[in-house]
Amino acid sequence: MEYGKYIELLRSLVRIPRVTGDEGAAADRMEAFLAGEGVACARVRNNVLARSRHFDPAKRTLALDAHLDTVAPAAGYTRDPFDPGEDPEKVWGLGANDDGGSVAAMTAAFCALWERDLPVNLMLVLTCEEERSGPNGA
């Protein structure tokens, strides 16, 4: 697995302002990333969904779920909240942990497994509006 590309995916997400209700650019980024990996996905508003290649409705489904949105930047930030930094050991910025790190990690896991015929289905579910439970997302 090429871990570097998933770290760069996370960095690219941090650079995108994606406050709840304005996740469109982040959903676009995830669609483009998945397409680059050969993964077909569906877009429902700003939610991005992908299913394993051997999806079988008779099997149980394991959903890898993470949210694309963030809260608004706090007034007390001492760094640019949309600058992930260049530190090879750390990714900084708004949403790097909640929930961009999970988005990148679950995308990595899904991309590693989506073509396998597993005993369960896999779904990658990247949702929006988790921070406020809006009508268009989580």
Q: What is the pLDDT of residues 54-63, one digit of tens each?
A: 999 999 999 9
Q: Strands across the sheet with 47-51, in order?
A: 41-44, 47-51, 121-127, 61-67
pLDDT tens readout for residues 70-116? 999 999 889 999 999 998 889 999 999 999 999 999 999 999 999 99
Q: Is 3-127 a CATH 3.40.630.10 domain? A: yes
- What is the reported pTM? 0.93
Q: Given phi > 0 = left and psi -120 to 50 = alpha, else beta, which region is 26?
A: alpha
Going from N- to C-terminal start, the domains of the chain cover 3-127
